[in-house]
Chains A and B, each alone.
Chain A
Amino acid sequence: MSEQIEQAIARKYDAGFVSEVESDTFAVGLDESVIRRISAMKNEPEWMLEWRLKAYRSWLKMDEPDWAHVDYPKIDFQSISYYSAPKSMKDKPKSLDEVDPELLRTYEKLGIPLHEQEMLAGVAVDAVFDSVSVVTTFRAKLEEAGVIFCPISEAIQKYPDLVKKYLGTVVPQRDNYFAALNSAVFTDGSFVYIPKGTRCPMELSTYFRINELNTGQFERTLIVAEEGSYVSYLEGCTAPQRDENQLHAAVVELVAMDDSEIKYSTVQNWYPGDENGKGGIYNFVTKRGLAETNAKISWTQVETGSAITWKYPSCILKGDNSVGEFYSVALTRGRQQADTGTKMIHMGKNTRSTIISKGISAGHSSNAYRGLVRMGPNADGARNFTECDSLLIGDKCGAHTFPYIESRNPSAIVEHEATTSKVSDDQLFLCRQRGLDPEKAVSMIVNGFCKEVFKELPMEFAVEAGKLLEISLEGSVG
């Protein structure tokens, strides 16, 4: 049966087209002059350049980490281009009418219409194409509510005090190898600011697309939710199908002030490489949120793409009664490798965290959950619940669980549950006996397995995520 299921999940990547957009792309290579040029392209103030250079100098002294359960040839950081922008972006468009139609078509093909009237009702979108933000929709409506949602490059110009105050406070420049690299060369990303007591009137969403060959994408996202505010944010990612590996090293920082809530959802579908492991995105991402008193941070992720994923969205539960959540579906197939999980750092009293991780492995892929729950000495009455489930499709894939628990407070409670199951012959036979073809059957079983996570996604995206899984599992059956 495993043969049959394996064929049922043969790969197909829908977002693998390349757009014919003329670009300004830096020659490959990295040194201080490249960083100065990036900063100059973006018209950045001096402090920003200094910040980047400081990060770069730290990075030079750091070593690439090798502890993750992934295996890839050493990355040659000198063979990557650190900046690429569609030519037509030079004079930044003021409205959608001025955006290069080819770019708009790219997003349309991806199912992300940027024309406001066609958009998913009530979702504001920022689209980042290679290194620059293409367009942010629904700006006026957000401004009315006092919400700032714009490319971070623009925020550096328009709201330097806010950016200066928070940038690098959750993920310091030298936090880790890839975060340091990102801090040095980040090109764009989104900035969100929700003022005190404000409920953001719509879902905010950013779509990232890597188009150019040999470019890295290093986006930086910063979300600040002031006291008593609420925001739900979604990011989606795709890339063309190419034989070369491409690097994506993003940093996301969330700041949740007292009584605020940030819900951050990701649907990641970077190109995973072909069935032999050729090509695909290296996705090395640092995501972390800081929660003050009574604040809540929720990470929900559906990860189906990338050749290699190295990603641990984390919560620092600093304030008393703060809450951290992590809901994850990670699907690997072919030769994909994923090492993903979360860190819940409980510092305040009565802090609570929930981790639900669903790993699905098919083909020859490897899927690891790595999670740290740390109960600090002051975390009286803190609680964590972790549920970590693996589903195996076929018998050539692997699932691994690496839970780390550090408790320095005897009153803190940590619960961990882990299961491993298989899409069984019996389940498949039942579905087929009821008239469903094997592909539909597998995708239905997998969707059922992921239900607890999908219900955390905003409605529209839950549907999208289900479809994405279905496409990812699509293939022919013999």
Chain B
Amino acid sequence: MMLSIKDLHASIDGKEILKGLNLDIKPGEVHAIMGPNGAGKSTLGYVLSGRDGYEADSGTAQFNGADLFDLEVEERAQAGLFLAFQYPVEIPGVSNMEFMKESVNAIREKRGDDPLSASEFLKKAKEACKQVDLPLAFLKRGVNEGFSGGEKKRNEIMQMILLEPNLCILDESDSGLDVDALQVVANGVNSQRDGKRSFIVVTHYQRLLDYIEPDYVHILADGKIVKSGDASLAKEVEKTGYAWLGAKAEEADA
């Protein structure tokens, strides 16, 4: 098992958001998580990646045999957990290039690999840049500095490609994208599917799943996975929306 989440509860500011969530992901699998706004999808990504203020109250998460909640944020990243942000933040004055080179080498160091030289890294970065259809000038620009929404999302995928993680959590990497950009993001993801790397694809809409075919689809509502199925579940959601969940979630609560 790549990731095994058991009965996860988490609250933010005293309010319980995740209310007993279970999820198992094997190497190479793609799991889509769908659900209405406010269901706790981003919260799940933050709890797994260890963001301050998003600690688990109870429950466990095993990641490649290690207890995820025992690790610092950067240790989880170094162990191969990657989160593509729903709202990527800007770091003015720090070039994408510099940022990614430091990151890649920090992770390589932990794995016992030699750091990449400037020219080795540049070569990889240029390829990744092309893969997500960003002009090379983006390598020199400050991290997300003045990027459009779509450029930010593509930049996240570029980082994912460069960091070669084991588990990628994509938090609404499709929101705000036109069809072309959506295709670019999906191609970026599909290029990284190698039978070993696993993905959690969080999305509000079914649209992205036309391009990234998931092995499983889960519906997250009110802090729990209320329904799981194969790719056809996403199609069902597209037709019926999330309205039916209201009653169901309350039911589950009671």
Interface residues of A, Cβ cutoff 8 Å to B: 1, 4, 424-427, 429-438, 440, 444-445, 447-452
**B110 sits at the interface (CB 8 A):** yes
Cβ-defined partner of B74 (8 Å) among A424, A427, A435, A450: A435
- The residue that B52 contacts in the complex, of A427, A429, A430, with Cβ under 8 A, is A429
CB-CB contacts of B219-240 with A at 8 A, as 1s and 0s?
A: 0000000000000000000000
Interchain nearest-CB distance for B43 vs A (Å): 14
Q: How distant is A102 from chain B, measured CB to nearest CB, in Å?
A: 37
Taking a contact as CB atoms under 8 Å apart, the answer to whether A440 and B77 are in contact is: no
CB–CB B93/A447 < 8 A: yes
Residue of B with least CB distance to A452: B93
In the docked arrangement, what's the CA distance between A105 and B115, Å?
A: 33
What residues on B are CB-neighbors of A433 within 8 Å? 49, 51, 73-74, 77, 82-83
Residue of A nearest to B74 (CB): A432
Q: Which of A444, A449, A452 contacts B99 (CB 8 A)?
A: A444
Stretch at the interface among B17-25, B30-38, B100-108, B130-138: B100-108
In the complex with contacts A427-B91, A430-B91, A448-B92, A436-B102 CB distance below 8 A: yes
Q: Which residues does chain A contribute within 8 Å of B94, judged by CB atoms? A: 444-445, 447-448, 451
Q: Which of B74, B102, B163 has the most CB of A within 10 A?
A: B74
Q: In whole angstroms, what is the CA distance A434 to B100 when docked? A: 8
Interface CB pairs A-B, < 8 A, 9: A429-B52, A430-B88, A430-B91, A433-B51, A433-B74, A435-B78, A447-B93, A448-B92, A449-B92
Contacts of A436 in B (CB 8 A): 74, 102-103, 106
Nearest CB on B from A422, distance (A): 12
- With contact pairs A430-B85, A434-B77, A434-B99 given, residues A1 and B52 touching in the complex (Cβ less than 8 Å): yes
Give the residue name and chain of the B residue nearest to A445 (CB): B91
Cβ contact of B163, chosen from A430, A434, A450, cutoff 8 A: A434
Question: Residues on B close to A: CB < 8 A?
Answer: 49, 51-52, 72-74, 77-78, 82-83, 85, 88-94, 98-100, 102-103, 106-107, 110, 142-143, 159, 163
Query: A residues within 8 A CB of B82?
Result: 433
Chain A, interface SS category: helix
Given known A-B contacts A429-B51, A444-B99, A448-B142, A435 and B163 have beta carbons under 8 A apart: yes
Complex alpha-carbon distance, A450 and B92, angstroms: 10
* In the bound complex, CA of A67 to CA of B193 (Å): 65
Q: Is the CB of A435 within 8 A of B51?
A: no
Interface pair A435/B106, CB less than 8 Å apart: yes
Q: Which 5 A-B pairs have the closest CB atoms?
A: A448-B93, A448-B94, A451-B93, A434-B103, A432-B73
> Nearest Cβ in chain A — how far from B96, in angstroms?
11
* Shortest Cβ gap from A472 to chain B (Å): 17
Partner of B107, one of A426, A429, A435: A435
Chain A residues near B78 (CB-CB < 8 A): 435
- A449 contact from B51, B77, B93, Cβ within 8 A: B93
Chain A residues, Cβ within 8 Å of B103: 431, 434-436
Nearest B-chain residue to A441, judged by Cβ = B74
Distance to closest chain A CB from B90 (angstroms):
8
A397–B22 Cα distance when bound, in Å, is: 44
Contacts of B93 in A (CB 8 A): 447-452
The CA of A438 and the CA of B90, in the complex, are separated in Å by: 17
Hey, which chain B residues are within 8 Å of A424, CB to CB? 89
Complexed CA–CA distance, A433 and B168 (Å)? 12
Which residues of B lie under 8 Å from residue A425 when comparing CB positions?
52
Q: Which residues of B contact A431 (CB under 8 A)?
A: 91, 99, 103
**Complex alpha-carbon distance, A437 and B106, angstroms:** 9
Chain A residues lying within 8 Å of B159, measured Cβ to Cβ, are: 434
Contacts of A432 in B (CB 8 A): 72-74, 77
What residue in chain B is nearest A436 (Cβ atoms)? Answer: B106
A427 to B144, CA, bound (A): 11
Q: Which of A1, A427, A435 contacts B110 (CB 8 A)?
A: A435
Q: Do the beta carbons of B49 and A444 come within 8 Å of each other?
A: no
Q: Is the CB of B49 within 8 A of A426?
A: no
By a CB distance below 8 angstroms, the chain A residues around B92 are 448-449
B77 to chain A, nearest CB (A): 4
Closest beta carbon of chain B to A408's beta carbon, Å: 36
Q: How far is the CA of A322 from the CA of B179 in the complex (A)?
A: 54
Contacts of A4 in B (CB 8 A): 52
Task: Give Cα A394–Cα B84 distance, bound, in whole angstroms.
Answer: 26
How far, in whole Å, are A4 and B72 apart by their CA atoms in the complex?
12
Whether B89 contacts A426 by the Cβ 8 Å rule is yes
Inter-chain contacts of B89 with A (CB < 8 A)? 424, 426-427, 430
